[in-house]
Structure 1
Amino acid sequence: MRILMVCTEKLPVPPVLGGAIQTYISGILPHVSQFHDITVLGISDSSLPEQETIQGVRYVRVPGKIFEIYRENVVRYVEANKFDLIHIFNRPRLVLPIRQAAPDAKMTLSMHNDMFQPEKIDPEEATAAIAEVAYIVTVSDYIGNVIRSLYPQASPKLRTIYSGVDSERFLPGNHPKMQKIRNDIRRAHGLENKTVILFAGRLSRNKGVDKLILALPELAKKFKNLALVIVGSNWFSENDITDYVAYVRALAKRMPVPVVTTGFVPPNEIQNWFAAADLFVCTSQWQEPLARVHYEAMAAGLPIVTTARGGNPEVIFANENGLIVENPEDPSDFANKIAQILSDQSLMRRMGEKGRQLAISIYHWERVASELLEVWEQAEKTEQAVVSEEQAAGMTIEPLKEDATEQLNRPTPKADAKEKVHSKKNAAASSDKTKKGKTKKERAISMEDHQQTAKQKEAAAERTELAKSDPAPKQPQTGRHIKPFTIASGNQQTLDASPKTHLNRKLAQAKHDTKHFTIASSH
C-alpha cells in the first residue's frame, strides 16, 4: 500500500529535536517500509530540507507551528497526492479535514495523549472522527480507557500497542561499548564513586522533578555518596529559564548531595546518561500516557521508580523491574521506594537485569512495527463510511488549546492499569497486498532478513537465547488476557483472536544471560 504517516505540528521527523512521537516513527520506519511505500508528512525545520528520501522513505515537511496553519498545509498536500491508507498521529482534529481531501483512503489514528478530552476536541467532531477511522492505536491501556469512557462506541476500534526502544543503543553501563562513556561522564561531573539517581524529562511542574529533589535530604541520612542527575530542559531543545526551572535549580543548590543539571541533551547522546546512572526515577505528577523513558531505562538495565499516574504502571512489575510511588505528591514516598531498592544490592541488580530482558524480548521496534502492520492490513479490508460535506461543514473547529502534557492530576478511568495485559504478538503481520506484491511467505522471509541486519544481530541473538529458556509458563499474576476486538464500521470483521503469549510467560522464559545482563554498580 501507499501509506502516508501524518506527524504532529510540534517537532520534526527524524527526531533531531527529540519527541516521543518522533522517536516512535523513526523506530518503526525501517521495518514497516519493508512492506509498504511510506511517506512521512511533518513540520518543517531549518535544519532539514523540505523533501528528502532516506532508505526508501519519503519525508515531506510543511510549515505550520500553529495547528490551523499546519492543518491547511497537510490538507493541501493530501489533496495533491493519492494514498491507500493515511495514519494520523495524535491529532483527531485532522481526521475530518483529511477525510474531505482523501475520501477513498483508509484511515487509522495513533493516540499518544488524551487528545479526545472535550477541551481538546468538540464532542461532535470527535464522534465523527471515530466513525471515520478503522482503528485507534493507543500507547497504553490508560489512553484507551480515557477514550472508551468518553466515547464507548470507540471501544471495538481501540488497540493498545506498547512502544519500543533500541536496545542496541541504550545499553547497561558495564557493556563494553559503554564502559568508557560511563566513566568519562562520571569523572567529568564529579560522580566517581557515587550512586547516581537519574531523572530524564522536561522540566515542568507536571513532570515533578522537584519532588525527587525534596526526597534527597531523607535519602542522604541513610546512604552515603548519593548524587542526582537531572537531564532535560523546559521544552525539548529549548533551554529557557522558566520560573519552574529557576525553582528547581535553586532547590538543588540547597541539597546535602550533589545535583547535576544538564539542560537539553541531543537525542543521539541521551543514552550515555542512562549508562552513567544506577537508578532511574520518573516523577510524573499528571496522568502520563506512558513515558517512553521507562523503555529506555529498562534497556539500559536500570531499576525504575515511577508514579501511579496514567499508563506508567503498565510496564512496571513490582519487585521485578521497579517500584511504584502511589502518592507522587509526597517526596517521602519517593524516598521510601528509592531506599527500598538502594538498600538491597541484590534486588537492585535483579531489577536492572529484568528490565533489560523485557526491553530485548518484548519492547523492541520489530514487535511494534509488526503489530502496526497488522492494524493497517486489517484496516485495508474494512469498508469506510464517508462524512458528507454537510456533516463536515457543521463541525466546530476550535483552535488547538493547551497541550495535553500540561494537564495536571486528571482522574484516571476506573479500570486499574495494573489489570491490563501487555503481552503482544511478535510475528510480522501478513498481507498479500504490499507495494511490491509479495506473498505472505516472501514477506516473512523479507522481515527475517531485515531483522538480521548488522545493527540488530546481537539483539536478535539475545532474544533467541531468552526463548530457549525454561518453556514452562508461569501463571499470570493477575489473570490478564487480550480479548479479540472487532471493527464497528462497514462489514464487521474480527481481528485474529488466536491466544497471545502472556507477558508473564515471557518473564518466566527470559532467564538472563550473565554475559549480556550483568548490571553495573557504582560500588
Structure 2
Amino acid sequence: MHILIIAPEQIPVPPPVGGSVEHCIYQIAKKISSKHKVTIISRLRSNYPKTSRLGHITIIRVPGANKKAYLSNVLKTVKGHHYDRIQIDNRPRFVHAVRKVFPHTPISVFLHSTTFISSPMTSRKQAASDLSGANRIIGNSLSLQNHLKRTFPNISHKVRYVHLGVDLAQFRPRKEKKYSTGGRRPFVILFAGRLIPRKGIPVLMKATQIVRKSIPSARLHIAGGTGKPSYKQYLKKLASSLRIPVTFKGYVSRSQMPRFYQSGDCFVCPSQGHEAFGLVNVEAMASGIPAIASRNGGIPEIIRHEHNGLLVANYRSPKAFAKEIIKLAKDPSKAKRLTKQARLDVTRKFSWRATASKLEKIYTTKNST
C-alpha cells in the first residue's frame, strides 16, 4: 500500500519547534510497517531540503505563502502519481480539490481537534460539505469521534478514531526520581502548551496562588509559545498581581521536552475548551511525573482518576486544581504510585507503533473506503 499524507501548510515535517500535528504525522509515518510506502507532502522552509528519504518514507516539501498557493503546489507535485490511500491532516477544506485530481482514490481526513470544523475557522455547513467528500474521517480520540458523529450525523458511518502516542525511549522517567513536599527544595508545577486562552493558564496561576498558602515553595514553570505577544504580557502581569513565582520558558525544543517534564513535581493541564486528546499528558506520564488535568474531551481516555493521575471535574475552578496539587505535594508515596501506573499504561496503550498499527488496520480492512 502506498499512502500519501498531505500535511498542513504552516510548518515543515518534521517540525523544528512546536507543530504538534506535523510531529504526529512524522512519528506515525516512521512507525507504519515498512511493507508500505509513505509519501508526505509538507511545507518548504529554508534549511530544509526539497526531498528527504528515510527508509520507506519520502518527504516532499513544496512552497506556499498561503493555503491556496500551498495546495496548488501540492496538487501539481502529486498529479499523475498513484496512491492507494490519501490522508489529509487537519485541513478538511482541501478535500474537494484533492478529489478532483484523484476521483477514485480513497481519501481520509485525520482531525487533531475541532478547530477546522468549527467557527470561526468555518461554518458547520461548509465543514459538512468538506467532510462529505472524504471516504473516512479519523479523530484522535473517542471523544472527538463522538463529537463528529453528533455534529455531522449524515457522515457518522465514516468516522473512526485512533489515539496518538509518544516516543517511549525519548520520554522516560528519570532514575531515582525524588518528589518534593515543598520543604527545602521548591515544589515545581509544570505546564506545557500554547499560550492561548482555552488552555486555562490563568486558572492554573490562581490555583498556584492557593497552593502556596499550604506549600510556600511552590512555583510554576510554563513551556510554550504564543502567536500573540499581548497575551503573554497579560499572563506576566497576572502572575505579578498574584505574587506567584512563574518562569516562562518560551518554546522548548522537542529534544529538550523530556528534561522539562523531569524537572517538575507535577504536571497540570487545565484545558478550558474541548481537548480532543491532550498529547502533553501522555508525554508527562511517560516521563515519570504525576499528571493533573481537566476532565474534558479525550483526556479521561488517557488519565483515570486516582489510578494513573488526577482529573478535575470542576475545571473552571482554581480551588479544585489547587486541592489536587496539594494532595500530591503532601503525599509523595501517592505521587510515586500514580507515576508508576501511568508509565505502565502509556507503554501498553500509547506508543506511536500502536497508533500506526491501528491506522494501518483502518486502511487495509475490507470496506474501509
Is TM > 0.5 for Structure 1 vs Structure 2? yes
Matched-pair contact (CA < 8 Å) for 1:78–1:102: no
Matched-pair contact (CA < 8 Å) for 2:118–2:127: no
Is 1:373–2:365 an aligned residue pair? no
Q: Residue in 1 aligned with 2:200?
A: 208
- CA-CA distance at 1:325 after TM superposition: 2.0
- CA-CA distance at 1:33 after TM superposition: 4.9
Q: Specify the SS of the correspondent of 2:5.
A: strand
**Alignment partners' CA distance in 2, 1:52 and 1:323:** 42
More strand by proportion, 1 or 2?
Answer: 2
| Partner of residue 342 from structure 2, selected from 349, 355, 362 | 355
96-105 vs 9-18, which moves further? 9-18
Matched-pair contact (CA < 8 Å) for 2:109–2:131: no
Q: How does 1:366-405 map to 2 (within 5 A)?
A: 366-378=353-365, 381-382=366-367
RMSD of equivalent CA atoms: 2.3
- CA-CA distance at 1:70 after TM superposition: 1.9
TM-score with structure 1 setting the length = 0.66
The 3 A distance-change label for structure 1 pair 127 and 253 is closer
- CA-CA distance at 1:294 after TM superposition: 0.8
Q: Residue in 1 aligned with 2:222?
A: 230
Q: Residue in 2 aligned with 1:281?
A: 268
User: Could you list the runs of 5+ residues in structure 2 that have no partner in the other structure?
Assistant: none
Q: Residue in 2 aligned with 1:398?
A: none
Matched-pair contact (CA < 8 Å) for 1:15–1:267: no
Matched-pair contact (CA < 8 Å) for 1:162–1:363: yes
TM-score with structure 2 setting the length = 0.91
Matched-pair contact (CA < 8 Å) for 2:109–2:134: yes
- Rg larger in structure: 1
- CA-CA distance at 1:206 after TM superposition: 1.6
293-302 vs 29-38, which moves further? 29-38
- CA-CA distance at 1:122 after TM superposition: 5.3
- CA-CA distance at 1:89 after TM superposition: 0.7
Count of residues in correspondence between the two structures? 365
**Alignment partners' CA distance in 1, 2:130 and 2:187:** 49
Matched-pair contact (CA < 8 Å) for 2:17–2:251: no
Q: Residue in 2 aligned with 1:19?
A: 19
Matched-pair contact (CA < 8 Å) for 1:9–1:42: yes
Matched-pair contact (CA < 8 Å) for 1:280–1:304: yes
For each residue in 1:45-69, what CA deviation from the matched residue of structure 2 results, as whole angstroms up to 9, or x when unmatched? 1131122212331111112242222
The 3 A distance-change label for structure 1 pair 196 and 122 is closer
**Alignment partners' CA distance in 1, 2:86 and 2:184:** 50
Matched-pair contact (CA < 8 Å) for 2:292–2:324: yes
Matched-pair contact (CA < 8 Å) for 1:116–1:147: no
Is 1:272–2:259 an aligned residue pair? yes
- CA-CA distance at 1:121 after TM superposition: 4.2
Structure 1 residue ranges, 4+ long, deviating more than 6 angstroms after superposition: none
Is 1:198–2:190 an aligned residue pair? yes
For each residue in 1:455-512, what CA deviation from the matched residue of structure 2 results, as whole angstroms up to 9, or x when unmatched? xxxxxxxxxxxxxxxxxxxxxxxxxxxxxxxx6x7xxxxxxxxxxxxxxxxxxxxxxx
User: Could you list the runs of 5+ residues in structure 1 that have no partner in the other structure?
Assistant: 383-486, 490-523
Q: Residue in 2 aligned with 1:134?
A: 135
Q: How does 1:303-318 map to 2 (within 5 A)?
A: 303-318=290-305
| Partner of residue 330 from structure 1, selected from 293, 298, 317 | 317
Matched-pair contact (CA < 8 Å) for 2:294–2:315: yes
For each residue in 1:116-136, what CA deviation from the matched residue of structure 2 results, as whole angstroms up to 9, or x when unmatched? 336544556544544443322
147-156 vs 91-100, which moves further? 147-156
Q: Residue in 2 aligned with 1:434?
A: none
Q: Residue in 2 aligned with 1:431?
A: none
76-85 vs 138-147, which moves further? 76-85
> Partner letter of residue 300 of structure 1?
S
> Partner letter of residue 322 of structure 1?
G
> Partner letter of residue 351 of structure 1?
L
**Alignment partners' CA distance in 1, 2:22 and 2:132:** 26
- CA-CA distance at 1:256 after TM superposition: 5.0
